[in-house]
Amino acid sequence: MLKVVIAGASGRMGQALLEGIFADDELQLHGAIDRADSPRIGHDAGEQFGRVTGVKITADVASALAGADVLVDFTRPEASMEYLAICEKNGVKLVLGTTGFSVEQKQQIATTAQKLAVVFAPNMSVGVTLLINLVQAAAKVLADGYDVEIIEAHHRHKVDAPSGTALRLGEAAASALGRDLQTCAVYGREGVTGERDANTIGFATVRGGDVVGDHTVLFAGIGERVELTHKASSRATFALGALRAAKYLADRQSGLFDMQDVLGLK
């Protein structure tokens, strides 16, 4: 049985991950981590589900990871980098769904993955992983005469924009079109901007309410539009994908993987 530790155990994703573990006979909750100021510190991780697991939510990362197989982390970049270092030290594999990393932080993740097995993806949803492949295929066919725009919407509590998923979709389109997203992306338009540059990929961000996550890649041509859309109605889809990724790492010792690896789409 795979021994799993959940980071951010009291948060929305943490709760979805715990529920997923409790429903899976192949997984065992080994540890639960949260911020030191969380009111849930010291409580049983299964308390809100009416379960007694014997696993107390703790801020002591090292003790939570002792003897674990894999850590699943959907927190913030600063915390994730700390977890990454401790996982490397303790030989604990990592499923990383955190977004908002800097270029330097992403490079550190790649470096650590040379010694440690890591699944790193901005979105663990099976549907979004398929969407990435569809965007690549569509971009190759619609390479001439179609403008690419990416629209994403999330809840009011999300702190980074555009979403990591939107950026990954942009990278998929740019790669298929032979472009570099860092130089062709447009993240905002205001005032007299002039005509649209045909070589750009635009992003639009919506934040409000309790939207779990909507993403649309729009290919706008003359006389027609092709729209590829994914809408998440529950965080369970991300949790189930992340736990599937944890199982994927069970027999892997090192390497940097994404959800396309997990689903065998590469």
- Just list the catalytic residues: 154, 158
Same domain? 107 vs 134: no
Same domain? 102 vs 137: no
- Residue 106 sits in a domain whose CATH number is 3.40.50.720
Which residues have CB under 8 Å from 221's CB, separation 6+? 142, 145, 146, 147
Q: How confident is the model at residue 197 (pLDDT cuts 50, 70, 90)?
A: very high
Same domain? 34 vs 161: no
Q: How confident is the model at residue 86 (pLDDT cuts 50, 70, 90)?
A: very high
Does residue 32 contact residue 57 with C-beta atoms inside 8 Å?
Answer: yes
Same domain? 47 vs 130: no
Q: How confident is the model at residue 265 (pLDDT cuts 50, 70, 90)?
A: confident
- Residue 173 sits in a domain whose CATH number is 3.30.360.10
Average pLDDT over residues 89-99: 96
Same domain? 242 vs 194: no
At 60 the pLDDT is 97
Same domain? 17 vs 43: yes
Tokens of 178: 């032979």
Question: Between the CA atoms of 160, 164, 167 and 171, what dihedral angle is there, to the nearest 10 degrees?
Answer: 150
Same domain? 115 vs 135: no
Same domain? 191 vs 88: no
Same domain? 152 vs 220: yes
Same domain? 112 vs 9: yes
DSSP state at residue 251:
G
129 pLDDT more than 80: yes
Q: What is the mean pLDDT of the chain?
A: 96
Residue 12's SS3 state is: helix
Count of domains for the chain? 2
In this predicted model, what pLDDT tens digit does every residue of 3-50 receive, in sequence order?
999 999 999 999 999 999 999 999 999 999 999 999 999 999 999 999
Same domain? 29 vs 109: yes
Cα radius of gyration rounded to whole Å, the chain: 19
Average pLDDT over residues 137-145: 97
DSSP state at residue 39:
T
* 211: containing domain: 126-232
Is 65 buried (19+), middle (13-18) or exposed (0-12) by CB count in 10 A? Answer: buried
Same domain? 91 vs 137: no
Average pLDDT over residues 224-241: 96
Average pLDDT over residues 231-255: 96
| The model's pTM | 0.82
Which residues have CB under 8 Å from 30's CB, separation 6+? 3, 4, 5, 55, 64, 67, 68, 69
Average pLDDT over residues 46-69: 96
At 222 the pLDDT is 98
